[in-house]
Chains A and B, each alone.
Chain A
Amino acid sequence: MWIIIILIILLISLAAAAFLWLRPATGERAEIWVDGELVRSVDLSKIQEPERFTVETDRGVNVILAEPGRIRVESADCPDKVCVDAGWLSDSAAPIVCLPHRLVIRLSGDASLDTEVG
């Protein structure tokens, strides 16, 4: 009986994971959030040259590299480096997360808004 319950949960999770991760992202605009606040927004479709910038908080530093159509965390001084290992974000609905620094990079819809906050 337990095996069946566990298998059902496994199948639902697999389906949800496949749906969430394989679903193409809706936009070309990369948003960088720190602590639940939008700190920077880059339109990846308008970038010509690779653009490197630093997001610094009192928790640490993330160096972010934006290229035409894609963005990644190039280096960070967080302990686990999960954000760096995540690699390029180009068309996935799954965001890049640096939990120790509370930083999230995600793709978002409306590409016409090209703002730079902070």
Chain B
Amino acid sequence: MGVRRLARDAVLTAVALTVFVVELQIPELVPIPGVKLGLANIVTLVTLFTLGPWDALAVLMARILLGALFAGNVMALLYSLTGGLLAFAVMTLMRKILTNRQIWVASVFAAMAHNVGQIGAAILVAGTPELLVYLPVLLVSGIVTGLFTGLAGQYAAGWLGKNLRKTDGK
């Protein structure tokens, strides 16, 4: 990994972590585990759609691992890791069939994949199939928050894309 790329991805990770930590300060709106805005996903979206999957994966993994440490909630790491990677896989696959004006679609589906992965991991780990009743609620919240972060990411990618790609030195 070149120095330019390393520095650029480190800056993106720092931005994602900052957003993540700021979001932690927002009080929970509904007492349902797993419902949150997921603002840090904006950074993943922008990275994926402007720089490609490998940079996005690096930024995502660094953010999830460091974020769990910053939040002091390492136990939740497994859930966010499963959800995060599943969402990333969905986004990466959808990137091939979407235009730059449809980034929000990838975000909505990624948010839903995140919720499915998260709850699936929770059910397996905790042995609590009761959690399945949360899935429809989580999907609704995922669609709404995914739309919001997706549109934010789409505009951000539009503005930042050119400059971000320049850092490749090409």
**Total count of chain B residues near the partner, CB < 8 A:** 28
A99 close to B (CB within 8 Å) = yes
**CB contact list, B76-128 vs A, under 8 A:** 76, 79, 102, 105, 108, 112, 122, 125-128
B133 close to A (CB within 8 Å) = yes
Contact string against B for A residues 63-102, beta-carbon threshold 8 Å, 1 for contact and 0 otherwise: 0000000000000000110100111000001110101101
Nearest B residue to A7, CB-CB? B143
Instruction: Name A residues whose Cβ lies closer than 8 Å to a Cβ of B.
Output: 2, 6, 9-10, 12-17, 20-21, 33, 35-37, 59, 79-80, 82, 85-87, 93-95, 97, 99-100, 102, 104, 106
Given contacts A93-B133, A94-B133, 8 further A-B pairs with CB under 8 A are: A13-B139, A14-B140, A15-B136, A16-B135, A17-B137, A59-B75, A97-B130, A104-B131
Instruction: Name B residues whose Cβ lies closer than 8 Å to a Cβ of A.
Output: 28, 31-33, 72-73, 75-76, 79, 102, 105, 108, 112, 122, 125-128, 130-131, 133-137, 139-140, 143
